[in-house]
Structure 1
Amino acid sequence: MPSPVTQDGRTVPSVSAATFLATVASLPVWALTVLPLSLFYQAGKVIMKPVLPKAEQPRLDTGYHVSDSDILPRRERKYDMVVLGATGFTGRLAVRHLAKTYGVNKSVKWAIAGRSEAKLDKVKRELADELDIQEVESIDTIIVDTTRTSSMPALVKQARCVATTAGPFALFGSPVVEFCAKFGTHYVDITGESDWVKAMIMKWGETAQKSGARLVTFCGHDSVPWDLSVMKLQEALQKEFKDDLTSVTFWDEAVGGAPGGTIATLFSAVDGKSVKAPHADFDPFLRLMNGEKSEYVCRSDGPTWIHKSKSPWDDTGAWFGRWTTPFIMAQVNGAVVRWSHALREQGSKSLTYTEFAVTKDFKTAFVNHVGLIIVGSMMLNPLTSGLLKKYVFPKVGEGPSMKNMEDKHYLCIFGEGIGINGNRAESIMYFDKDAGCLETSRMLVESGLCLALEEDKVPAKHGGFWPPAAGLGNVLLKRLLETGTSFEARAISEASVRHSLE
C-alpha cells in the first residue's frame, strides 16, 4: 500500500544538526536546574497536602430535576445540532465546517451556543465574510454558561445532538453531559480526559440508558482515527480469512499544532483540577451496558524510548532510516480502543495495542522525545510553567494559522494487525490537513451528524456512553470519507506473510 504522504510530496521535518547538539548541551543545565526544582516543588506539594486547603473538586451533579413533560421527542426538536464553545478556536472551526459543507439550515438545521452573545455574533460575521455566505449571520444563537444551571435547558431541550468543544471538560463539561443524559439529547465531544469520561460513565450512564441519549466521547484527534482503524483491521481479517485480530500496531506520521485549549487542559491536570477516575470494582471502560464486566480486554504495550522504526513500510525509499518515539496521546488512544473492544465483544478476547510516532531520523527522534521530557518537567513548577504560558504556548482561543493548517499540516496513520492464525492486515488513514484542530472539528461535526441524522444506522442502538468505533462505526467512517479523509485496508494471508520474510 503506497503512502499518500509521499504521493502528496510531503514529509515530516528533520531537525538540524545544530538543534540536536543544542538539545544535548542543554541536558546538564536541565538536570541541574529545572529537574530538581520541579521535583522539590512536587515533593513539597505532597508533604504539605495534609495542611493545605483542599482544592475544590469540579461538581458532577447540579441536582436539576427533569420531568417527563420537559422532554420533547428528538424528532420534534428544532435543531439537528447545537455547537457549544463556538467562540473558541476549535469550536469556530466546527462552525466553519458546518457552514461550508452543509450551508445554513438546509439539509442540517443547526445553531451555535456560548456565554457571550457579542462574541457569538462576531464569529458569525467573520465566517460570513470569510466563506462569502451571508446567511451565516442568521444562524440562531443560544446563550449558555455551563456554570449556571438555569441556562442549561436551553442548550439541550431543542437539540437532537450537542457537539461541544468547551474544555477543559473536567471543569466545564460535566453539566453538559448531565443535561444531555437527562433530556435524552445525543452528545459528542473532543475530550482526551479519560478519567473524566470514566467518572461520567459511572455517574450518568444509567440515566442516559433510560433517556435514550447516546453520549459519544473522544470524537476528535483523540481518538477517532485509531479507534476506527482497529475496527477496520479486525473486519478485514475476519472477512478474508475468518481470523481474529490479536495485536495491532500503529506508526503515526504527523505535522501539526495544538490549540490553546488543549494546553489549558494539560495545565488543569498538572494543577490538580482534573476529575479523578472513580473507585470501581473494575475499569469503567470494561463496563457493558448491563453493568457486567466484558471478557474482551485490550492492553497497551507502548514504547518508552526512541527506536529504529520497524514499520512494514520501512523497505520503501520514503521510510528508509526512520526512527520512532513514544506518541504523547498513545495512552488515551489505547484506552479508547480498549473501551471499543470491550463493548463490541468481537474477535479475540485478548488484544494488544502499540503505537509509535514516526520521525525522519535519529536526531529528530531524540530532540522530539527529550524536548517533550524537558517541557513536561517545566510544567511541574510555577516558575518555568509561568514562562511557558507567557512566552511559548498559545493562549486559550489561539492556534495554528489557517494557511499552515490547510497547506502544511497532516496526519497519516499506518496500521498493522496480526490475527490469531498469523494472517496480517494493514491500513492507512490520511488526513491532509491539521488533525489536532481543523480535522478535529470536522470529526466532531460528522460524529454528531451520525447521531442527529442517522440514529437508526449507527451501532449504538440504545442510550449510554460510547467510544467512536463501537458507537458510530462505519457510519462515521463513511461521512469522513465523503468529506475529505482517505482510508484503505487490506488483509494478507499468513502464507504470504511467511513468504515475504523468507
Structure 2
Amino acid sequence: MQNAKEFDLVVYGASGFTGRLVAEYLVKQYANDSSLKWAMAGRNADKLAQVRDEIGAPADTEIVIADADDPASMQNMLARTRLVLTTVGPYQLYGSELVAMCAKSGVDYVDLCGEPVWMREMIDAHHTTAQASGARIVFSCGFDSIPFDLGVYHLQQLAKQQLGSSITRVKGRVRKMRGTFSGGTAASLKATLVAAKQDPIKMQLLLNHFSLTPDFQGVEQPAGTKPYFDEDLDSWVTHFIMAAINTRNVHRSNYLLDYAYGKDFVYDEMLMTGPGEKGEAVANAVAADKSMSGDKGPKPGEGPSKEERETGFYDVLFVGITKDGQQLKVSVSGKLDPGYGSTSRMIAQSAICLVKDAVDTKGGIWTSAPAMGNKLIKRLVKHAGLRFHQE
C-alpha cells in the first residue's frame, strides 16, 4: 500500500535551480510539521547534500540517489515514495521513462511540463496503465498551467451558482506580470519546436487546440496570435507565449470533467497592453519578439536573483461572456516571480494536495482542475500567495 511508503513525496532534481527552490520552500513551510515526510533526490549525493545544507534543511533530511541512466536507482526511488515531484526537464528529453515507471508502479507524479506534444504521447502510452495501477499523474503544475486552469474552473463554478449554467465563451487575459520565464520553459519550447519541425504529425498536434483530448475535437478556437483592440476590455491584446500550453490544458480539464464547460466551449489567452497608441505599440512589439525561441533567454539551471523573485507578481483576468451578453469576471493573482518563486510553491502544494487531500482521485493522467479542484485552490490561497477574486 502507498500509505506504507517511507516518504509522502520526493523532490527529483532538487539540486537544480527550480528543484532547489521547491526544497527550500518545503523547509520553510514544513520544518516543524512531522506529518509531511519528504526527501531530496538526484544524481549527485554531494550536490544534494550541499543544497540541503545551504537551504537550511535539517541534517537528517533524506537524500535519495536516482539517475535516469540507472533504471534500478529510479525504481528504488519509486519504491520509497508515494509521489515524485520532478523538475527535471525538458520532459520530452528526460521524463518519458519516469512517467512510464510511475504509471506502472502506482506512484503519483507531478511536474512543470509545458510540452503538449510530449504530454499527448504520454497520455496515449500510459493513461490506461495509470488507471489500472492507481497512479495519479498531473502535468503542468506551475505557472503553466495552474492559475489558468483553476481560474477557468473557478469562474465556471461561480457561473453555475450565480447564472445557473456554465459559460461557453471565456477569455483569459494577462493584465500584469513582472518576472522571468524559466530556463526550463525556454528549453522546452526549443525542444518542442525542433521535434515538430522534424515530424508533421507532431506539428499538427502542436497546432491543435484539442491535442490533449483524444477522440474529441471541439468548435473552432481563436488563434490568439495577432494583436487587436479588445472592446470588451478597452485594451489592446497580443500573443501570450504560454497560451499554447495553457489552452490545451484547459480543454483537457473540460474533457475530463465530462464537458462541464460545454462541448462548444471557446477559450483563448492573450496579454493586455493597454488602450490607445501606446497599447498598440506595445502589443506589436510583443508580437514581434522571438527571444524565447532564440539563444538570449535563461538557460536551464539559471534564473533570477532572490530579490527579483520576491518582487515579481502576476494578475490574470478571466472574462466569461454569456450568449446574451452578460459578463462574469474572475481574477487570479500571485505574489513572487511567476516562473520560479510562485511556480515552486504551486508544484509543492499540488504534490501535497494530491497525496493528502485528493485521496478520492482515481488513477490516470490528469490536469489540476479535475484532479484537485477546490482543494488545491484552498491550499494555494492559504500557503502559496495566490488570490482568486470575483470582480
- TM-score, normalisation: structure 1: 0.71
Corresponding letter in the other structure for 1:119: K
Instruction: Measure the CA separation in 2 of the matches of 1:278 and 1:203.
Output: 19
Preserved CA contact (<8 Å) 1:300 1:353: yes
Secondary structure of the structure 1 residue equivalent to 2:168:
strand
Alignment deviations for residues 181-226 of structure 1 (CA, whole Å, 9 cap, x no partner) = 1111111110000111111111111111111011011111111111
Preserved CA contact (<8 Å) 1:298 1:338: no
Preserved CA contact (<8 Å) 1:174 1:200: yes
Instruction: Measure the CA separation in 1 of the matches of 2:202 and 2:173.
Output: 29
Question: How far is the alpha carbon of 1:424 from its aligned partner?
Answer: 2.5
Corresponding letter in the other structure for 2:271: A
Give the one of 354, 358, 371 matched to 2:268.
354
Instruction: Measure the CA separation in 1 of the matches of 2:237 and 2:45.
Output: 46
List aligned pairs for 1:118-157, cutoff 5 A. 118-128=46-56, 135=58, 137-157=59-79
Instruction: Measure the CA separation in 2 of the matches of 1:279 and 1:324.
Output: 26
Instruction: Measure the CA separation in 1 of the matches of 2:390 and 2:29.
Output: 27
Question: How far is the alpha carbon of 1:255 from its aligned partner?
Answer: 1.5
Corresponding letter in the other structure for 1:258: F
**Aligned CA distance change for structure 1 residues 279 and 201 (closer, same or farther; 3 Å):** farther
Give the one of 297, 301, 316 matched to 1:413.
316
Instruction: Measure the CA separation in 1 of the matches of 2:353 and 2:161.
Output: 25
List aligned pairs for 1:358-377, cutoff 5 A. 358-360=272-274, 361-372=279-290, 375=291
Give the one of 13, 16, 25 matched to 1:88.
16
Structure 1 residue aligned with 2:155: 233
Structure 1 residue aligned with 2:337: 434
Alignment deviations for residues 201-254 of structure 1 (CA, whole Å, 9 cap, x no partner) = 111111111110110111111111111111111111111121221100011021
Task: Give unpaired runs (5+ residues) of structure 2.
Answer: none
Preserved CA contact (<8 Å) 2:358 2:375: no
Question: How far is the alpha carbon of 1:105 from its aligned partner?
Answer: 5.9
Question: How far is the alpha carbon of 1:423 from its aligned partner?
Answer: 3.6
Corresponding letter in the other structure for 1:456: V
Give the one of 169, 172, 189 matched to 2:91.
169
Give the one of 338, 343, 351 matched to 2:256.
343
Q: Which moved more, 1:77-86 or 1:267-276?
A: 267-276
Give the one of 435, 448, 453 matched to 2:356.
453
Give the one of 280, 286, 297 matched to 1:393.
297
Corresponding letter in the other structure for 2:272: V
Corresponding letter in the other structure for 2:285: V
Alignment deviations for residues 64-115 of structure 1 (CA, whole Å, 9 cap, x no partner) = xxxxxxxxx1111111110111111111111111111111662311001111
Instruction: Measure the CA separation in 2 of the matches of 1:180 and 1:421.
Output: 47
Give the one of 355, 366, 374 matched to 1:466.
366
Structure 1 residue aligned with 2:105: 183
Q: Does 1:285 align with 2:206?
A: no
Corresponding letter in the other structure for 1:371: D
Alignment deviations for residues 434-486 of structure 1 (CA, whole Å, 9 cap, x no partner) = 111111111111111111111325xxx31100011111111111100001111
Secondary structure of the structure 2 residue equivalent to 1:200:
helix
Give the one of 332, 340, 347 matched to 2:245.
332
Instruction: Measure the CA separation in 2 of the matches of 1:452 and 1:267.
Output: 33
- TM-score, normalisation: structure 2: 0.90
Corresponding letter in the other structure for 2:251: R
Q: Does 1:487 align with 2:391?
A: no
Larger radius of gyration: 1
Secondary structure of the structure 2 residue equivalent to 1:258:
coil
Instruction: Measure the CA separation in 2 of the matches of 1:94 and 1:257.
Output: 17
Give the one of 254, 271, 276 matched to 2:177.
254
Instruction: Measure the CA separation in 2 of the matches of 1:86 and 1:428.
Output: 32
Percent of paired sites with the same residue: 33
Structure 2 residue aligned with 1:306: 227
Give the one of 266, 269, 276 matched to 2:192.
269
List aligned pairs for 1:4-83, cutoff 5 A. 73-83=1-11
Structure 1 ranges of 4+ moved more than 4 A? 273-280
Alignment deviations for residues 402-432 of structure 1 (CA, whole Å, 9 cap, x no partner) = 101111x211001101234544211011112
Instruction: Measure the CA separation in 2 of the matches of 1:325 and 1:284.
Output: 23
Corresponding letter in the other structure for 1:397: G
